[in-house]
Structure formats: structure tokens, C-alpha cells
Amino acid sequence: MKGKGLSVVFACSDTYRAGSEEQIETHAERLGLKVIKHKYGADPAAVAYDAVAYARKNNIDVVLIDTAGRMQTDKDLMGELMKIQRVASPDLTIFVGDSLAGNDALQQASEFGMYVKIDGVILTKVDADAKGGSAISISSALRKPIFFLGVGQGYDDLVPFDPNWVIENILSKQPKAE
């Protein structure tokens, strides 16, 4: 986003996991970004709200709200996500899924979509996925576009989704008959 001329601020709405604030602060420092955070144990929706208010006051283009990782079966955590979405009123909500999770990623995405409005998907670890087929399954189940694929661990290792690349990848990595 910075490369496209957009200003960005991070919101640390992962307020319970030990080390979450330090982790996002390290990334923010490397990228030259500000982080809005509260104390550990604070209301994650309040952090998101404050980050949006900070962005409005300071003419920041984009607020990236980092929420806690969650199991889709944990109703309390899903309720927390609903509250963050209600309070922050984001323009775009992106489901970030691990392509190595396979069918579990599909189940997660479908369940998330029952609780919050999802506008699109980013799939990570596609470079380590045997075929990348979870991309097709998730996109089909959610009926939402895949925006980016994570193909490495660097900050520039998000590539725009290309359906032809996924199809070629699936077809080219068929096991060879012995």
C-alpha cells in the first residue's frame, strides 16, 4: 500500500495473545508505520475504533486492523469479530487464510462468512501448498474474490491473484504414474 502512495496505520486488536503487540510493533517499525494499541486485555473493538478515529484525524488512507487468530467454532471470538466490524465499520473485510489448512481453511472461511461480511480473501503460504486448490474452493464457497496470494515470507511476497496461475499450478503438479 505504501508503494502505491497510500498512508497506513496498524490497529493491534489482538489484545490477549502474549507478544501480539510486540510482534506488530516490530513489523510497523520495519515498515515505518504507526501502531494504535491499548493495554493487553483491552477491548479489541475499542482499539479498532481508536485507530479509525486516529486515521480520520490524521488523514491516513488505510487502517489495517489485526485481529486475534480464532477458531471458527469459538462463538465468543466470533462475537468479538462481529463487534469489531460493527464498531469500526470497515470499508473492506478480508479473510486471511492459510492455504496449507486445506479443507479446514474452506470450513473457516464459510463459518466466518456466517458471522461477518467478507469482501475478499488473501491466501497465505501458497508457495508451500502442493497445488493451491484451496483457492478455488474458498472463492467458490464464499462467492468472493481472492485479492492476493502469499508466496513467501517477505513484505513484498503478496502477489495479485491470477486464476490462470492457480489452474496451471494444479494441472502441472499432478503425480506421475510409476
All cell numbers assigned to 171: 494441472
List pLDDT tens digits, range 17-71: 889 999 999 999 999 999 999 999 999 999 999 999 999 999 999 999 998 776 6
Q: What is the pLDDT of residue 178?
A: 43
Amino acid letter, residue 138? I
Closest CA to 42 of 76, 13, 71: 13
64-68, 139-143, 152-156 — which is least confidently predicted?
139-143
Q: What is the pLDDT of residue 74?
A: 74
* Per-residue pLDDT tens over the stretch 76-128: 888 889 999 999 999 999 988 887 777 777 888 888 888 899 999 998 888 77
Q: Is residue 28 domain-shared with residue 56, that is, in the same domain?
A: yes
For residue 18, give its domain range: 1-90
Q: Is 177 found in the same domain as 103?
A: yes
| Distance in angstroms (rounded) separating the CA atoms of residues 31 and 22 | 14
The CATH number of the domain where 77 resides is what?
A: 3.40.50.300
Domain boundary among 90, 111, 131: 90
80 and 102 fall within a common domain: no
Smallest Cα–Cα separation from 7: which of 83, 87, 63, 49? 63
Residues 80 and 124 in one domain: no
Please tell me the predicted confidence (pLDDT) of residue 101: 75
Tell me, yes or no, whether 44 and 65 share the same domain.
Answer: yes
Same domain? For 103 and 42 the reply is: no
State whether 107 and 85 are in the same domain: no
Please indicate, yes or no, whether residues 115 and 177 belong to a single structural domain of this protein. Answer: yes
Domain shared by 150 and 71, yes or no: no
Final residue of a structural domain among 74, 90, 106: 90
**Tally of domains in the chain:** 2
Helix (H, G, I), strand (E, B) or coil at 78: helix
- Cell triple for residue 147? 485479492
Q: How far apart are CA 159 and CA 114, in angstroms?
A: 27
What span, in angstroms and rounded, lies between the C-alpha atoms of 100 and 149?
A: 12
Q: Are residues 45 and 104 in the same domain?
A: no
Question: Which cell numbers in the block locate residue 118?
Answer: 467478507
Residues 131 and 169 sit within 8 Å (Cβ to Cβ):
yes
Last residue of a domain, one of 90, 119, 147: 90
Please give the model's pTM, rounded to 2 decimal places. 0.84
Same domain, 64 and 18: yes
